[in-house]
Chain A
Amino acid sequence: MLVVEDDARQRDSIRALLGNDDVQITAVESGAEALAQLRTATFDCVVMDLTLPDMTGDALLEQMAEQEDVSFPPVIVYTGRSLTRDEEQRLGRFSRSIIIKDARSPERLLDEVTLFLHQVESTLPVERQRMLKAARDRETALEGRRILVVEDDARNIFALSSVLEPKGAKLEIARNGLEALAALERSAGPSGQAIDLVLMDIMMPEMDGLTATREIRRRADWKKLPIIALTAKAMKDDQEKCLSAGANDYIAKPLDVEKLLSLIRVWMPK
């Protein structure tokens, strides 16, 4: 296991917490040392702080993902500072779990490390798995198409991007109706790239999916934009609500990926 932490005291306490006869710990202070270690040895898990002397934790993660032929073990971010939603989302692309340091964080750290050490699984990073898969899986219907995913749930965003991106689609994420409208405005702007289809969750903070869909339909140039509603509601009238708000179609959660792909193929403009 690799621990990346610049503070000597904290390094020692992590070592004391996690180290035992079965777990070997290599502890380093900087991003550069971490990258060097990852090139020479294989680790089952990395625990890293976000504030390092030579680079941000973010940058370290990205460089780790870019290193060719180097394994990318599950990463746990262990940080003393609070994060914005954007930072969290960015880190979430590379790390399995983010723990904010607090009185009770040691036990959560121990718990998550134990989980990862006992998991047998592919050591390729999600991003790289995706890139490899992408080479095989591209599909003309989706290649280069831009899909706006309006969804607030990390689990669903992850599921959607791991099926759509390998097929060549470009995803843009908005976390609520307001962000969706802003993203569409941007895409219609001079330097924007047109959005081909919208996947719209219904239950969201700030502005829900039904309202956002109605707002989109009020604009003449977005009248034809295909919108597929993602809904946790199962009754016929719930689905009619999606359609009467202006969605072209709907799919029920939990998402059936194959069915969603068919729907996207149906509605994606040719």
Chain B
Amino acid sequence: MDAEVDATRQAASADIELPLLLDALYLKYHYDFRGYALASLRRRLRSAMTRFGCRTLSQLQDRVLHEPASFPALLDFLTVPVSDLFRDPSYFKAIRERVVPLLRTYPSLKIWVAGCSTGEEAYSLAILLREEGLLSRTLIYATDINPQTLQKAEAGVYDIDRVAGFTENHRRSGARSSLSDFYTAKYQRAVFDKSLRRHIVFSDHSLATDSVFAEVQFVSCRNVLIYFRRELQDRALGLFKDSLCRRGFLGLGARESLRFSTHAAAFTEMVRDDRLYQRRDDA
């Protein structure tokens, strides 16, 4: 058979198999990927198929339905657990310069890091707030759907080879101290300070299925909405809007924006390039 025709047929079958697989994951494990962007789901499932040695999505479905032990590994493919300390330093610099001065006027602070992955974003904010003298009155809720990354986040242990990059990012974020004040390096690992950890609650929470849990002054949700289709993005942004106090702040990832959301009118743009927004009063 002509190879091109064959590939087209395969792709057509995959279009049938994909929603079936997502339904299966939802029914069996209560993880809801049905509203995620299709192109990246397909890409990540292709890598998963290679890893699991499956030729088709149906085989992959058979595998995760009947071998629950394989689900955590699949989850790692589906959730893209990559992060960095002070990822996009200019974002954190903008927080220091534009958001922190207003946060100072609140007697106590709550911050929600949604989609925290292995914890780097939450630790970055904790370090920044410690440097600005605000951490002692702050509680950071850091949430994610991947229990394995949450566990790593709680431990706050990172490979020592990453620390040079962390340090560079931290500096470019307008650091007021040395990053080494915040970790201890031993063997091949750097362990972040328990005094930061004390101000962070790591918790399982899904933007796709769960609801608002606290009133906060600042929501930072970076590089998560890019994996969602429009309706799911709107659901998540609705949660952020409901969670934020009036005039609270929202920060998104470098490739994300509020522009096409149904909630766009509820926010004003504060720092366009760094995707910082402020909730309006009448929202």
A237-B205 in contact (CB<8A): no
B211-A155 in contact (CB<8A): no
Which residues in A have their C-beta under 8 angstroms from that of B242?
Answer: 254
A205-B201 in contact (CB<8A): yes
B105-A253 in contact (CB<8A): no
A139 to B212, CA, bound (A): 30
* B interface residues, how many (CB within 8 angstroms): 27
CB of B107 within 8 Å of the partner chain:
yes
A83-B247 in contact (CB<8A): no
Whole-angstrom distance between the Cβ of A209 and the nearest chain B Cβ: 11
| Given known A155-B215, A232-B212, A252-B211, contact A99–B105 (CB-CB < 8 A) | yes
Of residues 231 to 246 in B, which have CB atoms within 8 Å of A's CB atoms? 242, 246
A88 to B215, CA, bound (A): 15
CB of A98 within 8 Å of the partner chain:
yes
| Given known A115-B281, A203-B214, A235-B209, contact A100–B201 (CB-CB < 8 A) | no
A92 to B210, CA, bound (A): 28
CB of A191 within 8 Å of the partner chain:
no
CB of A152 within 8 Å of the partner chain:
yes
Which residues in A have their C-beta under 8 angstroms from that of B212?
Answer: 232, 253-254
Among B105, B201, B214, B215, point to the contact of A108 (Cβ < 8 A): B105
Among B107, B210, B246, point to the contact of A100 (Cβ < 8 A): B107
A104 to B101, CA, bound (A): 6
Whole-angstrom distance between the Cβ of A49 and the nearest chain B Cβ: 14
B211-A253 in contact (CB<8A): yes
Among A100, A152, A204, A254, point to the contact of B105 (Cβ < 8 A): A100
CB of B260 within 8 Å of the partner chain:
no
Whole-angstrom distance between the Cβ of A80 and the nearest chain B Cβ: 11
Of residues 25 to 50 in A, which have CB atoms within 8 Å of B's CB atoms? none
A237-B107 in contact (CB<8A): no
Whole-angstrom distance between the Cβ of A103 and the nearest chain B Cβ: 6
Among B107, B204, B210, B213, point to the contact of A153 (Cβ < 8 A): B213
A82-B137 in contact (CB<8A): yes
Which residues in A have their C-beta under 8 angstroms from that of B104?
Answer: 100, 102-105
A203-B213 in contact (CB<8A): yes
Which residues in A have their C-beta under 8 angstroms from that of B155?
Answer: none
A105 to B105, CA, bound (A): 6
A203-B101 in contact (CB<8A): no
Whole-angstrom distance between the Cβ of B116 and the nearest chain A Cβ: 13
CB of A234 within 8 Å of the partner chain:
yes
Q: Could you write out 16 A-B pairs with CB less than 8 Å apart? A: A82-B107, A99-B105, A100-B105, A100-B106, A102-B105, A104-B104, A105-B104, A152-B139, A152-B214, A154-B215, A205-B139, A208-B201, A232-B211, A236-B30, A252-B211, A254-B212
With A102-B104, A232-B210 known, 8 other A-B pairs at CB within 8 A are: A108-B102, A115-B246, A203-B214, A205-B139, A205-B201, A232-B211, A233-B210, A254-B211
Which 3 pairs between the two chains have the least Cβ-Cβ distance? A232-B213, A235-B30, A102-B104
